[in-house]
A and B are shown apart, each in its own frame.
Chain A
Amino acid sequence: MNMNRKLFGWGLLMGMMVLLTDCRRADDPEPQDENELITTVRLHFTEQGTTTVNTFEYKDPDGDGGNAPTRFDQIRLKPNTTYNMTVEILDESKSPAENITEEIAEEADEHLMVYTATPASLLTYTYGDKDSRNQPLGLTGTARTGAAGTGTLKVQLRHQPPVNGTPVKNGTAAPGSDDINLDFGLRVE
C-alpha cells in the first residue's frame, strides 16, 4: 500500500517533468530579429525650380556593431538656396529591403523627424507634412541654406509613443527617444 503510494508519487513527479519540459532543442536556433532595425537613411534634396536631386546617405547594412557603416556622406548644398527635402529610411538587412518610411507615415502620431544644423545659420528646415493631430512629422519639407560655411546637420527620428495611454507628441523633440540620431557633415558652398 505504502509502496504503491510512493511509486505513485515518484511516477507523478516524473510525469510532470516530462510534460512540462519544452521539447524543442537548443541546437536549432531561431533566426533572431531586431524589429526596429534601421540600416539606411537617405536625404534627398531637390533644388526648387529644378529636377536635380542630390542624395546623401548613411548606410550600415549589418546594423549596430559588426562592420562599420559603409557610407556616411557629407551633405553638400549651395548657399542661399531653397530645397525640397524628403527622407527615405530603409532596413536593408532584410530581403527585399523593408521600407521604414511607410511604416513611420502610418504611425505618424508617434514619430517626429528633427533636423538641427550647427551652426544654425547654415540651414533652416520647415516641416511640409502633419500627423492626424496636426503635429509636424518631417518626412517631407523644405530646407533653406544660408551663407557658405561648414558644420553638421543632426538628423533625428524621435519615437514618441503614448505613456500610460496618453499621447505625448507635442511637436518638440523632447518627449520619447531616438530611433535615429546621425550627425551628417554639412558643407554649404
Chain B
Amino acid sequence: MTKERKRNRLTKGLFQRVGVSLLLLCLYSIPAVFAQQAPCDCFVKGIVRDKHTGQPVAGATIALLGENKGVFTDKDGRYQIERLCPGRYELECRIIGYQPFSETIDLTAGHEEDFALTEDEIHLKDVEITAHRTDAPSSQPLSTLTGQDLARTRGQSLAESLRGITGVTTLQTGSSISKPVIHGLHSNRVLIMNNGVRQEGQQWGSEHAPEIDPFIATRLSVVKGAAGVRYGSDAIGGVILVEPEELPIGKPISGEFNAVGFSNGRQGVFSSTLQGGIKGLKEVGWRAQGTFKRGGNIHTPDYFLANTGTRERNFSLAAGFRRKAFGAEVFFSHFDTQLGIFSGAHIGSVTDLLQVIERGEPFVKGNFSYDIGRPFQDVAHNMVKGEAHYHFADGHRIQWVSAWQYNDRSEFDLHRPRNDSLAGLNRPELNFRLTTFTNDITWDHKPIANKLAGQVGISTLYQYNLMSGRPLIPNFDQWNVGLFLIERLVQDGWEWEAGLRYDYRYLTTYRLVNRVPQTDEFRFSSASGTLGVTRSVSEKLSARLNVGTAWRAPNVSELFSDGVHHGAAAYEEGDRTLRPEQAINTVASVAFDTDRFNWEIGAYHNYIAHYIYLKPQPEPILTIRGAFPYFRYTQTDATFTGIDASLGWKLSGRWSWKSKASYLRVYDQRNEQYLVMIPPNRWDNQLAFTIGRAGKWQGLFVSAGNLWVGEQRRVPLNSDFAPPPPAYSLWNIMAGGTLAITAKQQVEVGLTVHNLLDTRYRDYLNRFRYFSDEMGRNISLRLKWRFGA
C-alpha cells in the first residue's frame, strides 16, 4: 500500500518534469533514479517507455553526459547505471526514431533528503519520463512550440501561431486568412499532419487557410525542408505537425479553460478541454474539446477595414483504449468557420486595381461591425480517425491509422447574381466538396544489435472532389499509394539515417467542355530518398546534415485553371502537360546549448526541378472587363537558399535575450531571374526580465521585442502592379505569470501588445497589400485556467 502511494507521488514528480522535458520534445518513458547514501555508490535505473503505447522500448541508449557511462535498455526497456558519485548529472536518452531527451538528475546529499521524506527506507526514487514518438527525420531541423511558447499564441490561427519559429512566415489574404510558409514555400508545397493524418482541404488556393483549430494541439512542430520519404507527396518545403496530448488513459479528470480577448477587431476566443479516464475502466481515456471565436472589423492605424469579421466554431472528441500490447483510439474533429473578406479588395479590371493603388487607401472605410457580408468564405472540415497498434513480444510493432476527411468550402462573391430569383437563393458562387480516405500501416522492426532500428510502411489515399458554381477546377478523383523504408543506425555519437520511398498517383478529372463531358487521366509517380547524419560532438555541441528529396504532383488548378483571378488581376491558364516537381533539399545545422547560452544556425539549399509557377505571357488577354495580364502555369528549375539563426543568452539571473534571423534567396535558374512572392529577410529580438515568484504568482515576466522585416528587393522586373512595400519594424511588449490557486488549480495570465506604436505598414506576402495597410495596435489578454492533474 505504502509502496503504491509512493509510486504515485513519484510519478507525479515525474510528470511535472515531463512537462519541462516536453518542451524539448522528448519521447521516452521512465528512467528511475535510485540513490544511495554511500559515496560513489549511487545508481540510476529505470524503464524507457513509448508515451503513446505505454510499451517499454528496448535498445534505447542511456548516457550520463560527460561521464563516459552509457548503457542500453534491455528487452523490457530497463536500464541501470551504477557506481555514481553524488552530484548533478545530465542524463540523456536516445532512441532511434524518437527525439533525444535529456534531464538533469540530482544525486546530491540535499536532494537525497528530499527522497528520504518520501522514500524513507530504501532511498529510492522512481522518475518517470514519458516522451512522444516522432516520425520526423532526426537529422532535419525540427522546431516545436509547446507549453508557454504555445500558450502565448493562443487565440491566433494555425499559421499565425507558427510565425514565431525561425524560417516560418505567413502568406496572407487580408487580415483574416493566413497560410504557413516554410523557407519560402507554401500551399501544396507544405504538408500539414493533423493528429497524424495528412490534412486534405483545397490547399492549392493561396486564399485557402488550413482548416485546423490550434487548440487541438499541445504541440505544434515544423519539420523544415523536404521530408518526402516519411510523408509522401507535397512535403517539399516542410511539414507541420499538429499533435494533441496523449489520451489520459486511466487518469483522473482534468481540464482547462482558455479565454482570449483582442482589442483589434474586438475579438473573443474561448476554448475548453475536459479529459480523463473512466472509473472502473483503467484501460480507457477520453477527451472533449471545443472552441468558439468571434471577431469584427479590423482597424488599421487610420481606418476600419470593412467586412473583415470572422467566426469559428470547432470541437473534437477522442477516446482510447489500451491493454498491454494493444491500443486503439478514435478521434473526431469538426472545424467550421466564416471569414469575411475585405470588400475593398474586390476589383473588376486592371483599371480598378491601378486606381486603388494610386489612391493608397480603400475608397469605402467601414465602421466597426461583427457582421460578415459578401464576399466571404464558409468552410467546414470534418475528420474521423481511427488508430490501432500492437507490440509483438519480440519487439516488433505495427500501427494502423485510418482516416476520413470531408472538406466543404463555399465562397461567396461580392456580387450576387443579377437575376433576382437566383440571387434570392443566396448560393455560393463557388463550392468545393472534397472527400478523402487515407490508410497508413507502419511496421517498426525490433532494434538489431541495439544499433539499427527502422520502419517500413504503406500509405494509401483515395479522394474525390465535387465542384459547383462558376468554372474554376474540374471534378476529380485520385488514388495514391506510397511505400517507404527508413532505417536508423546509432553508433559512437553518430546517428545515421537513410530512407527510400516510391509513390504512384492516378488522377482522373471530369468536366464539361461545351456541355459535353470530358474525362482526362493523369498518372504520376516518383521515388524519394533521404540520407542524414547527426553527430553529438559533446554534450553542448551537435551537428546535423541531411539530404532529402520530395516530390509534388501538379494539382488540378495548375492543370486546368482558365480564367481571371480576381484580386490578382491576372488571367491564369493551366497546362495539362505539367510534370511533377522534384525537390532535392540539403540542410546542415549546428547547435550549441548550455544553461546560459544557446545558439543554432542552419543553412539550406532546396533545388526544385520542374518548379511550377505563373509565367507572364507577352500578350494580354482581352475580356469584357478590359485587358488582363496573361499568365500560364509553366515549369522551371528554382533554388531556395537560406539561413536560419537563433540565439538565446541569459545576460544575468533575470535578464535574457533571444534573437532570431532568417535570410532567403530564391532564384529561377532557367530564366536567370528572381521569383515573385518570396518572404523578405527578417530579424526578431526579444528582451525579457524575469520577476519569478511573488506571493502565489510564479513565472512572472515582462518582455519587449522588435520585429524587423526587410524590403524584398529580389523581385523579377515588371512582374507586379506595385513595387514591394518598404521595410518595417514593429514593437511589442508582453507580460505574464501563473497564479497557483491550489496544488491542482492554476490560472495563467498573459498580456500582449502587438504593433505597440500603431505603425502603418504593408507586408509583401499579404495579397491585399495593394488595397490597405496592415492591422494597427492590438492588445490581447489571455487567461488559462487549468484544473486536475
Q: In the complex, are the beta carbons of A32 and B470 less than 8 A apart?
A: yes
CB distance from A15 to the nearest CB of B (A): 10
Q: In the complex, are the beta carbons of B626 and A41 less than 8 A apart?
A: no
| The one of B433, B469, B624 that contacts A32, using a Cβ cutoff of 8 Å | B469
CB distance from B343 to the nearest CB of A (A): 5
Q: In the complex, are the beta carbons of B510 and A39 less than 8 A apart?
A: no
CB distance from A59 to the nearest CB of B (A): 10
Q: In the complex, are the beta carbons of B466 and A24 less than 8 A apart?
A: yes
Q: In the complex, are the beta carbons of A21 and B371 less than 8 A apart?
A: no
| The one of A10, A38, A103, A163 that contacts B386, using a Cβ cutoff of 8 Å | A10
CB distance from A137 to the nearest CB of B (A): 14
Q: Does B623 belong to the interface (CB within 8 Å)?
A: yes
B419: chain A residues within 8 A (beta carbon): 35, 98, 103
Q: Does B726 belong to the interface (CB within 8 Å)?
A: no
**Which partner residue on chain A sits nearest B355 by CB separation?**
A174
Q: Does B85 belong to the interface (CB within 8 Å)?
A: no
Contact flags A166-181 to B (C-beta < 8 A → 1, else 0): 0010000011111111
Q: In the complex, are the beta carbons of A30 and B467 less than 8 A apart?
A: yes
Q: A22-B466, A35-B415, A35-B429 are in contact. List 15 more A-B contacts (CB 8 A).
A: A6-B321, A9-B321, A17-B384, A27-B475, A28-B510, A33-B470, A38-B624, A63-B624, A65-B621, A107-B418, A163-B306, A164-B367, A175-B364, A177-B349, A178-B626
Q: In the complex, are the beta carbons of A64 and B563 less than 8 A apart?
A: yes
| The one of A17, A39, A103, A177 that contacts B346, using a Cβ cutoff of 8 Å | A177
Q: In the complex, are the beta carbons of A27 and B384 less than 8 A apart?
A: no
**Which partner residue on chain B sits nearest A39 by CB separation?**
B624
A contact residues vs B (CB 8 Å cutoff) = 2, 5-6, 9-10, 12-13, 16-17, 20-22, 24-36, 38-39, 41, 58, 60, 63-66, 68-69, 72, 98, 100, 103-104, 106-107, 159, 161, 163-165, 168, 174-183
Given A13-B330, A36-B418: A31 touches B624 (CB 8 Å cut-off): no
| The one of B307, B352, B465 that contacts A26, using a Cβ cutoff of 8 Å | B465
Q: Does B468 belong to the interface (CB within 8 Å)?
A: yes
B418: chain A residues within 8 A (beta carbon): 35-36, 100, 103-104, 106-107
A22: chain B residues within 8 A (beta carbon): 406, 433, 435, 466
B contact residues vs A (CB 8 Å cutoff) = 306-307, 319, 321, 323, 328, 330, 332, 343-344, 346-349, 351-352, 355, 363-364, 366-367, 369, 371, 373-374, 382, 384, 386, 404, 406, 413-420, 422, 429, 433, 435, 437, 464-472, 474-477, 508, 510-512, 515, 517, 519, 562-564, 571, 573, 621-626
> Could you name 19 residue pairs across A and B whose Cβ atoms are closer than 8 Å?
A9-B321, A9-B328, A17-B437, A22-B466, A26-B508, A32-B469, A64-B621, A65-B573, A100-B418, A103-B418, A161-B414, A163-B343, A164-B306, A177-B347, A177-B348, A178-B348, A179-B348, A180-B625, A181-B349
Q: In the complex, are the beta carbons of A182 and B624 less than 8 A apart?
A: yes
Given A175-B364, A181-B351: A29 touches B474 (CB 8 Å cut-off): yes
A176: chain B residues within 8 A (beta carbon): 348
B573: chain A residues within 8 A (beta carbon): 65
CB distance from B342 to the nearest CB of A (A): 10
B466: chain A residues within 8 A (beta carbon): 22, 24, 26, 30
CB distance from B365 to the nearest CB of A (A): 9
Task: Please give me the 7 A-B residue pairs with the lowest Cβ-Cβ distance, nearest first.
Answer: A178-B348, A177-B348, A103-B418, A181-B626, A35-B417, A178-B349, A32-B471
Tell me the complex Cα distance, A122–B374, Å: 39
A6: chain B residues within 8 A (beta carbon): 321, 328
**Which partner residue on chain A sits nearest B408 by CB separation?**
A22
A104: chain B residues within 8 A (beta carbon): 418
CB distance from B11 to the nearest CB of A (A): 26
**Which partner residue on chain B sits nearest A174 by CB separation?**
B363
A174: chain B residues within 8 A (beta carbon): 355, 363
Tell me the complex Cα distance, A35–B226, Å: 42
B564: chain A residues within 8 A (beta carbon): 64
Tell me the complex Cα distance, A146–B414, Å: 39
Most buried by B among A9, A26, A175: A26
B384: chain A residues within 8 A (beta carbon): 13, 16-17, 20
Q: In the complex, are the beta carbons of A159 and B571 less than 8 A apart?
A: no
B371: chain A residues within 8 A (beta carbon): 164-165
**Which partner residue on chain B sits nearest A62 by CB separation?**
B514
Q: In the complex, are the beta carbons of A163 and B624 less than 8 A apart?
A: no
Given A9-B330, A17-B404, A31-B515: A26 touches B464 (CB 8 Å cut-off): yes
Tell me the complex Cα distance, A17–B373, Å: 33
